[in-house]
Amino acid sequence: MLWITLALLLFIVQIASIIVVEYRRSNKAIAWVIIMFMFPLLGFLPYYFVAKEYSCYRTLQRKKNKQWEQFKNELIHRSKHRVTKHMRGDWPPEFNLHASLKNIPSLPITACNETTVYTEGKQAFEAMLESIAAAEHHIHIEFYIIRDDQLGTRFERLLIRKAQEGIQVRLLYDGIGSRLLGKAFLKRLRQAGVETGCFFPPLATFFDKRLNYRNHRKIVVVDGKTAYFGGLNIGDEYLGKDPELGYWRDTHFRLTGDAVLWVQYTFFTDWYLVKDQLITDSVYYPDQESYGKEWVQIVKSGPDETILELMFSLIVSAKKRIYIETPYFVPDPGILLALKTAVISGIDVRIIIPGVPDKKLVYNASLSYVQELLQLGVKFYCYQKGFIHAKVIISDNLACSGSANMDMRSFCGQFELNAVFFDGKVVDRLLQDFYRDLSVSNELTLPEFKKRSTIQKLKEVFARLLSPLF
């Protein structure tokens, strides 16, 4: 009897601790309480190790010196100077409709950019490999997932060759996303002279209680003049070779122009966090040779600088249309309310989600939001050609895309890199891609969706309750 009483007291203390610590994040508190009731006493262990509020940013702020902050200000000044010199300071009219973008605590809106959009892995990877092969000074690569497969081997061999030619090669990979990457793969790179870094190694971050915070960015920067980013990781499945998912539809970008400086800056902030090396040499931030006419804003986000405000701003400022493509649709209450308000106001709101999911739990959580939004007039489509991994928001004449999904993890728990595109050509291209995806998608209708089984509805309820945790 005594042991039962002590266990009950311990359980009550654990529940109380979660409520007190997570009172500002009620959705997350509810999810963890559910886990506690499912796994009494034992459920507190995963909470203790993975739910710690992210604090690296404050550590980084204490560590970084005035040189780093001064350097960022110099880059901002360079970007503004290019605007004045080559764009005559004429901000596009969309800035007035989306003035809040200029005040989002991120990186500045840049000018003189040129953008190439890729919708398939084969095109994007061939372009990346071509740029890497032509590198003359340095190559910086950062991916959430790197596989030791056919595609990974192509990158490995090319990076080894470039390092042996005397090119500086730096590579970052996420400790969880690339957990299957073998030591032999990394050893071969290091022996050739490639510098590597693991972002939050699993074992170390487990005991440091930061296991839940991952680096989801996908970056390639060559000579500080060409940058790639978007939704693609390095692996054969991103070429459509996964037998279960089949064709892989994604969105990736190639950038030249001043925006490249900020992709480079993002890479070096991560390099500093992992390797404790402060690199601000001007050779890595060369004068840009591109004199394009596109405006681009790089948006660097993480647990300490959320992308949620950007997505919310894009939705609430729309006047005509909001088109969303995302593999995972798990909006927070603010985004959900914004979407509801938009469609009630007569805005055309369309959302494309996968027809074939890669993660059943997240997919069920996504479906749990469909009926309430369908009832208000939001149109949902399930992509049928394969798996859609593109992450795109089109708000009137603006578009935002990159590595961030429309889910809680991307909002609050992962390091992401997106860009806002103001140029009509880029937005039109993303619109064309969206309409093309609609043509191979099945629209979800309210009468048909209501017919799903009771078991399916229960799965959705359970997944939604746990959704703040994934």
Torsion-angle region of 396 (φ positive above 0: left; ψ -120 to 50: alpha; else: beta) = left
Give CA separation, 129 vs 152, 229, 234, 410, in Å: 11, 14, 11, 28
Beta carbons within 8 Å of 56's beta carbon, 6+ residues apart: 210, 213, 273, 303, 304
Choosing from 28, 98, 225, 391, which is the catalytic residue?
391
Choosing from 98, 140, 162, 218, which is the catalytic residue?
218
Coil, strand or helix: which one is 81? Answer: helix
Choosing from 148, 174, 223, 433, which is the catalytic residue?
223
- Give catalytic status of residue 86 as yes or no: no
Angle CA(21)–CA(22)–CA(23) in degrees, nearest 5?
A: 100
- How far apart CA 105 and CA 57 sit, in angstroms, is 14
- Give catalytic status of residue 223 as yes or no: yes
In this structure, the strands spanning 109-120 and 248-256 are antiparallel
| Distance between first and last Cα of the chain | 38
Choosing from 332, 396, 407, 423, which is the catalytic residue?
396
Q: Strand locations in 144-191, DSSP E?
A: 168-174
Give CA separation, 294 vs 290, 311, 326, 423, 431, in Å: 10, 21, 25, 5, 17
Q: How many Cβ atoms from other residues are within 10 Å of residue 450's Cβ?
A: 11
- How far apart CA 299 and CA 105 sit, in angstroms, is 9
Which helix (H) or strand (E) element contains residue 197? strand 195-199
- According to DSSP, residue 346 is labeled T
Token pair belonging to 37: 């009731």
- Give catalytic status of residue 396 as yes or no: yes
Give CA separation, 259 vs 129, 285, 299, 399, in Å: 21, 11, 10, 15
Token pair belonging to 131: 């740029």
Pick from 337, 336, 338, 270: which is nearest to 304 by CA?
Answer: 270
- Give catalytic status of residue 242 as yes or no: no
- How far apart CA 138 and CA 147 sit, in angstroms, is 22
Amino acid letter at 103?
A: N
- Give catalytic status of residue 437 as yes or no: no
- According to DSSP, residue 25 is labeled -
- Give catalytic status of residue 389 as yes or no: yes
Q: How many Cβ atoms from other residues are within 10 Å of residue 301's Cβ?
A: 28
Choosing from 98, 162, 300, 389, which is the catalytic residue?
389
- How far apart CA 426 and CA 114 sit, in angstroms, is 9
Token pair belonging to 107: 């990186």
Q: How many Cβ atoms from other residues are within 10 Å of residue 345's Cβ?
A: 11
Choosing from 216, 225, 252, 459, which is the catalytic residue?
216
Active site residues: 216, 218, 223, 389, 391, 396
